[in-house]
Structure 1
Amino acid sequence: MYTMRNKPFIAAILLLLRLLCSLQHMGAQSIGVCYGGSGNADNLPPESEAVSLCKTQSIGKMRIYSPYPEILEPLRDSNIELIVGVPNDSLKDLADPSAAVDWVQRNIKDYSSNVKFKYIAVGNEVNPIGAAARFVLPAMQNVYKAIADAGLQNQIKVSTAVDTNLLGVFDPPSAAAFSANAGPFMEPIIGFLVSTGAPLLANIYPYFRVKYNNQPVPYALFSATDVVVQDGKLEYRNLFDALMDALYSAIEKTNGRSLDIVVSESGWPSAGGAVETIENAGTYYRNLVNHVKGGTPKRPGMAIETYLFGLFDENLKEEEIEKHFGLFYPNKQAKYGISFN
């Protein structure tokens, strides 16, 4: 029975709940980095030094694109939260349940006591009409079952990483929808994510919209002062928010209203072309880190978990611009004045 004597107790409980929510949102604000390893460069420090660099820079989250002992071992007891990827060329194999069990045992369960796995990204930017597309959902389901059988389903969420090229309509964000090719691919994946409580991982790159779609540079760098896109009552002054909310709109139209988005990649190259400069890249990364604390016009007030691409420049990439996305040079010198904590 409620009495006046209960009032201080109830007020204290409400205060505690608000504090817990605030702490949860503060945790979500932590910025991560993407680490490609040595496969795309021949001049990088060893994996143990990459992990040490993240620790000294207060980087609390990391995305790797394939698990292997040289990176997983130094991550033990590091307290770094981890997205671990299933490469696209492994999707067909993991569509076999027994192969998924073996993959989870070797790469996840054997390290799970002291590596902080958070998400498994089953595939990265898979073409919805490509040969690998039909294996994405079965691989996700099999990996999830193996995770659940290992008792890790409450710790690790299974998802896939997509890009905004899946959107057939983008502008304004409220009108966004998946393309005719992407819709049948995404619908069952979204259903799976909703059923398991996992977020969708999305690679969000305003830079590529500048490079290939002639979007204004200030709009992409968070430096536009005026409203660029008016979408009903929602106002957009930066392209990152517009891309995020366009993807949210497409998801909502595919029965994914409860789904959250984790930004699994976002970045800007520092060389290779006219807009690819140290100044533009530094502006983008610094503004992005500050911006994602506050959500988007469509979903305000909720911090966006975001992974910056990438940790180092990678000199073996084929395209010149792809070589210059690093936050650090191979000698571990920082390119930009970014506070990661």
Structure 2
Amino acid sequence: MSAILVLLLVCGISSSITAAESVGVCYGVLGDPLPSKQEVVDLYKSNGIGKMRIYSPEKETLEALRGSGIELTMDVAKDTLQSLTDSDAANNWVNTNVIPYAQDVNFKYITVGNEIRPSYTEAQYILPAITNIQNAISSANLPIKVSTAIDSTLIGNAYPPNDGVFTSEAEPYIKPIIDLLKRNGAPLLANVYPYFAYVGDQQNIPLSYALFTQQGENSVGYQNLFDAMLDATYSALEKVGASDMQIVVSESGWPSEGGVGASTDNAATYYANLISHVSGGSGTPKKPGQSIPTYLFAMFDENKKDGDDSERHFGLFTPDKSPKYQLSFS
């Protein structure tokens, strides 16, 4: 075998590993019927999906994940946040939901709060809860980082992306959290949805820009909305002294029906292009060459979910485990 062929094979293997490590899928459970937890874990494995996000520490899911090698991001349930401002309760939460599984389950992040906005009652609990959970994790000598997941409503002046800033309402809430994440060496998690940005401003946002199909860059150097939204968040981090903090895209997706621009074709295009983009190693204009760890939302349609009809149609698979789209995750 020639040296050139060996090099090409090694590069191909490396590229495949990067792709597999870059893309995860959120496992929402607000659907009925859905496959068993073990069937879901097997579905992740058979499709080469190496990362999972769950929205509460559900025992049956954790048991099914034992020995799977799947990297796990696990949320604290929203109704638990207040209790975790007590350090003893946080220690008990970790002792119950993490330590018994840590030998066999590949925990990566614990998410304390998902899309908690400054005006929400729960906002006051996020900082102390992150502190207490991280202290409990560190006391157990586990290599797990604790963070929170924000949404794009916390970002103002998002266009052009270099002008991105945390809103005047958001900054007093989020800056102490970001300072804590910096001290702990943890990333910020962000849910990034070009779909909702497009729906909210169709006059100024072309569908092609949201779907990664636009040809050429726009006037501020961007070819897709996902990068622009992500870089606006990086710009906001810079302005609060966290220019080196990594962002993990903890949700991103496109619905197959139920709203403007929601169709099977558009969703298939978005997911395929997103996977290709975040797996390709190109980064964003602000962070060229930097990896973009990303979780697709979501594994299944969730017909019991509240909100607009589109919220119930983000699934990649049907309840019988058939793929909605022909996607390659790895």
TM-score > 0.5, shorter chain as reference? yes
- The answer for unaligned runs of 5 or more in structure 2 is 1-10
Q: 2:144 aligns with which of 146, 156, 165?
A: 156
Could you tell which deviates more after superposition, 241-250 or 309-318? 309-318
What secondary structure sits across from 2:52 in the alignment? strand
Residue 274 of structure 1, CA deviation: 3.5
Equivalent residue, structure 2, for 1:259 = 245
Equivalent residue, structure 1, for 2:95 = 105
Equivalent residue, structure 2, for 1:197 = 185
Q: Whole-Å Cα distance in 2 between the matches of residues 43 and 241 of structure 1?
A: 35
2:190–2:250 CA contact under 8 A, matched in 1: yes
2:20–2:50 CA contact under 8 A, matched in 1: no
Residue 75 of structure 1, CA deviation: 0.2
Are 2:202 and 1:210 aligned? no
Q: 2:22 aligns with which of 25, 30, 45?
A: 30
Are 2:225 and 1:239 aligned? yes
2:21–2:50 CA contact under 8 A, matched in 1: no
What secondary structure sits across from 2:81 in the alignment? helix
Identity over aligned residues, as a percent? 51
Residue 130 of structure 1, CA deviation: 1.4
Are 2:122 and 1:122 aligned? no
2:199–2:260 CA contact under 8 A, matched in 1: no
1:28–1:305 CA contact under 8 A, matched in 2: no
Q: Whole-Å Cα distance in 2 between the matches of residues 213 and 51 of structure 1?
A: 38
Residue 27 of structure 1, CA deviation: 7.1
Which ranges of 4 or more aligned residues in structure 1 deviate by more than 4 Å?
A: none
Q: Which residue identity does 2:167 align to in structure 1?
A: S
Are 2:174 and 1:182 aligned? no
Residue 248 of structure 1, CA deviation: 0.1
Are 2:276 and 1:276 aligned? no
What secondary structure sits across from 2:258 in the alignment? coil
For 1:1-341, what aligned pairs fall within 5 Å after superposition? 26=18, 29-37=21-29, 40-152=30-142, 155-214=143-202, 215-230=205-220, 235-292=221-278, 293=280, 294-318=282-306, 319-341=308-330
Q: Whole-Å Cα distance in 1 between the matches of residues 57 and 241 of structure 2?
A: 32
CA offsets per residue over residues 92-123 of structure 1, 9 Å max, x none? 11011010000001100110001000000000
1:28–1:304 CA contact under 8 A, matched in 2: no
Residue 216 of structure 1, CA deviation: 1.5
Q: Whole-Å Cα distance in 2 between the matches of residues 178 and 251 of structure 1?
A: 8
Residue 139 of structure 1, CA deviation: 0.1
1:122–1:136 CA contact under 8 A, matched in 2: yes
TM-score, normalization by structure 1: 0.89
Residue 42 of structure 1, CA deviation: 1.6
State the superposition RMSD in angstroms.
1.6
CA offsets per residue over residues 206-262 of structure 1, 9 Å max, x none? 0000111222110000001032241xxxx1010000000000000010111110000
What secondary structure sits across from 1:165 in the alignment? helix
Q: Which residue identity does 2:298 align to in structure 1?
A: G
TM-score, normalization by structure 2: 0.92
Equivalent residue, structure 1, for 2:7 = none
Higher relative contact order (CA 8 A, sep 6+): 2
Q: Whole-Å Cα distance in 2 between the matches of residues 48 and 128 of structure 1?
A: 37
Residue 28 of structure 1, CA deviation: 7.7
Q: Whole-Å Cα distance in 2 between the matches of residues 32 and 197 of structure 1?
A: 21
Q: Whole-Å Cα distance in 1 between the matches of residues 325 and 54 of structure 2?
A: 22
2:20–2:48 CA contact under 8 A, matched in 1: no
1:53–1:332 CA contact under 8 A, matched in 2: yes
Q: Whole-Å Cα distance in 1 between the matches of residues 207 and 257 of structure 2?
A: 15
The structure that has the greater radius of gyration is 1
